[in-house]
């Protein structure tokens, strides 16, 4: 038995999920958007801090996906 889905099933699940998210109340969407912005700002400030401390901009560029990962996980 496989856990993988065919592309048509993936599209169907994404449409269902999108329709469910569109039914959220406005205050809920505002709270989620504010928290996402705050987490992204945290990741950006962490990347800037690392970049300025190490004097290697590439290291800061490696850290910035942390903010995106936190948003996706939460």
The one-digit pLDDT tens for each residue of the chain (74 residues) are 577 889 999 999 999 998 998 899 999 989 988 998 998 888 889 889 988 999 888 888 888 887 788 888 87
Length of the chain, please?
74
Could you tell me if 52 and 63 are in contact, meaning their C-beta atoms sit under 8 angstroms apart? no
- DSSP 8-class letter at 55: S
pTM of model > 0.85 = no
Residue 29 corresponds to which tokens in the numbers above?
A: 């969407």
Confidence (pLDDT) at 1: 59
Could you tell me if 68 and 47 are in contact, meaning their C-beta atoms sit under 8 angstroms apart? no
Could you tell me if 30 and 58 are in contact, meaning their C-beta atoms sit under 8 angstroms apart? no
Confidence (pLDDT) at 31: 93
Confidence (pLDDT) at 61: 85
């Amino acid at each position: 038995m496989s856990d993988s889905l065919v592309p048509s099933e993936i599209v169907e699940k994404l449409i269902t999920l999108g329709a469910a998210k569109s039914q959220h109340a406005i205050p809920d969407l505002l709270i989620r958007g504010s928290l996402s912005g705050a987490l992204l700002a945290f990741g950006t400030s962490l990347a800037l801090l690392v970049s300025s401390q190490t004097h290697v901009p590439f290291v800061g560029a490696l850290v910035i996906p942390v903010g995106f990962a936190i948003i996706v996980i939460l």
